[in-house]
Structure 1
Amino acid sequence: MTKVLVLYYSSYGHVRALALAEAEGARSIPGTQVDVRRVPETVPEEIRQNAGFLADDTPVASPADMESYDAIIFGTPTLFGMMAGQMKSFLDQAGGLWARNALVGKVAAVFASTGSQHGGHEATLLSTQIPLQHFGMLIAGMPYTFSGQTTADGIVGGAPYGAGTIAGADGSRLPSETDLAGARFQGAHVARIAARLAGASLAEEAA
């Protein structure tokens, strides 16, 4: 079995919705085991409630969990043009994995939710990939074989760098079917790549 982890942080549910779509796409590839986990919250509960953050009962991951997966798909909201602090804090705690090269050669991908089309959507997708490359992970984006990203019929999230959605300034816009289809596409894309790499590794071991 190829093991894929969909790991995300979500405040208002947009990224969580994309995460579930990513997982659905990954599970569509035969022989793939998919787990969905969230990173720990760092915002005090009082502030969460005052800000209207949604409750989330998805199990929480620890940085050490990442070592046991063939691929990890990271989801984050955009905050001031970059990944959320919760995701950055989680990655900052993975220094032990980096020191042991424990993530080298694993597949990684990123998806994001942003308030506006020009509020750092692509910047978040790209900059979140930077620490993943320091870990030695192989980055999979969302290639143009997903034609939904080229439509001009309305607001569409995502880019060749990863799936995504545009939530609107007040967060009222939910992921569209095109956004969710992009996430499912990316999840399947990552699972296929991971399966091929795992198969090649097994073939080398057998030889």
Structure 2
Amino acid sequence: MTQVLVLYYSKRGNTKKMARLIARGVESVDGCQAVLRTVESSVEDYQATDPIISESDMQQCDALVLGSPAYFGNMAADLKSFIDTTGNLWFSGAMEGKPAGVFTSGSSLHGGQETTLLSMMIPLLHYGMLVMGLPYSEKSLLYTKSGGSPYGPSHWTEFESKRPIDADEKQLCLALGKRIASCAHRLKPTEG
């Protein structure tokens, strides 16, 4: 079974909803399984509904999709804090050659979603991963009036963080999951 790790941080639940859509996209590919994980949080009342990430989760995955809310045009400190502990994954080459992608949510339409996506790509490139985005053959990229870019899915939550994920944003999440899973499945060596 090809395992795609969907690792995210979500303070208000919007990025978690996207993670679940991406997981559905992953699992739409025969022979692929989504593994949902989150990170430790510095927020006292943070309630993790998915298991906390471990280094072995990273080593065992065949692909990684990383998600975070957009905080000042950058990934959340809690996600960055975890990444900063993974130097031995970088040093050992454990992540090299695995497909990867990114996703984000943010409360203002032009509040740094694309720079957040780019900031999450940097450690993936340092790991030696194969960073993938979304092609314009995904028609939702052409018609979205809210979130989404060729760098990865994004969701515009509005200021109160209550705007639901719309049809285009949903389709882009599903598409990224499917795209990453398909690539990982093709790259995984066959047993026997």
Q: Pick the TM interval, shorter chain.
A: over 0.9
2: distance between equivalents of 1:97 and 1:129?
16
Q: Do residues 83 (structure 1) and 84 (structure 2) align?
A: no
Gaps of at least 5 residues in structure 2 are none
Contact 2:5 2:57 in 1 (8 A): no
- Contact 1:63 1:93 survives alignment (8 Å): no
| Shift of residue 123, structure 1, vs aligned partner | 0.5
Residue among 107, 128, 140 paired with 1:115: 107
Residue in structure 1 matched with residue 50 of structure 2 by the alignment: 58
Which of the two has greater helix per residue?
1
Paired with 1:109 and 1:93, the residues of 2 have a C-alpha distance of 20
Counterpart CA distance in 1 for 2:155 and 2:59 is 28
Q: Which runs of 5+ in 1 are unaligned?
A: 49-54
In 2, the alpha carbon distance for the partners of 1:146 and 1:56 equals 32
- Residues 131-151 of structure 1 show CA distances to partners (whole Å, capped at 9, x for unaligned) of 110010110111112111211
Q: Is the 8 A contact 2:15 2:67 kept in 1?
A: yes
Q: Secondary structure, in 3 states, of the residue corresponding to 2:3?
A: strand
TM-align CA RMSD: 1.5
**Residue in 1 that maps onto 2:117:** 125
| Count of equivalent residues | 192
Listed as ranges, the matches of 1:1-207 within 5 Å are 1-45=1-45, 55-151=47-143, 155-198=145-188, 201-202=189-190
Residue 63 of structure 1 deviates from its aligned partner by 3.1
Distance in 1 (CA, whole Å) between partners of 2:137 and 2:39 is 30
Taking structure 2 as the reference length, the TM-score comes to: 0.95
Provide the TM-score with structure 1 as the length reference.
0.88
